């Protein structure tokens, strides 16, 4: 959950694809270059040059071997989607007292609140910098 919230760019990148192509770790987008193919200008994926290391040291997943520890399973994605839906429209009484829903929501809510707090701090720092010209 923290990977998705705090590092959405790397969360979008598959490690096997990152080994083949160059990615922007901030955005999660594959880098491209302009080329003319059959007389037509196209954007082609930038292949990772041979002997160029992957950016694992800068990636929050740390390595392909550890990536699965940080990525959400399909069940976790469904729980997160349900959390967002419930946050928007509420829960039924049965859902509110369900121990699994309560446990899952408390875990997800803690991660979301930590992210919201970091976003608030980032916004405050930005405003501070504007006011004081830092």
Tens of pLDDT along 44-54? 999 999 999 99
Considering its fold, how many domains does the chain have in total? 2
Q: Could you tell me if 19 and 34 are in contact, meaning their C-beta atoms sit under 8 angstroms apart?
A: no
Kindly state whether residues 133 and 88 are assigned to the same domain: yes
Tens digits of residue pLDDT in 37-75 = 999 999 999 999 999 999 999 999 999 999 999 888 999
Residues 1, 76: contact at Cβ < 8 Å?
yes
Domain hosting 29: range is 1-71
Give the N- to C-terminal CA distance of the chain in Å, as an integer.
Answer: 33
Supply the pLDDT for residue 102. 96
Query: In terms of domains, do 36 and 94 share one?
Result: no
Q: Are residues 33 and 67 in the same domain?
A: yes
**52 & 77 share domain:** no
């Amino acid at each position: 959950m923290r990977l998705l919230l705090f590092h959405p760019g790397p969360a979008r990148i598959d490690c096997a694809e990152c080994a083949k192509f160059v990615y922007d770790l901030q955005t999660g987008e594959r880098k491209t270059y302009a080329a003319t193919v059959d007389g037509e200008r196209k954007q082609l994926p930038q292949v990772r040059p041979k002997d160029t290391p992957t950016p694992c040291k800068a990636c929050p997943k740390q390595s392909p071997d550890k990536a699965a520890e940080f990525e959400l399973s399909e069940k976790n994605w469904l729980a997160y989607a349900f959390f967002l839906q419930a946050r928007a429209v509420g829960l039924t009484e049965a859902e509110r007292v369900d121990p699994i829903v309560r446990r899952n929501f408390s875990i997800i809510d803690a991660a979301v609140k930590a992210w919201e707090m970091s976003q608030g701090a980032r916004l405050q720092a930005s405003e501070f910098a504007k006011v004081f010209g830092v």
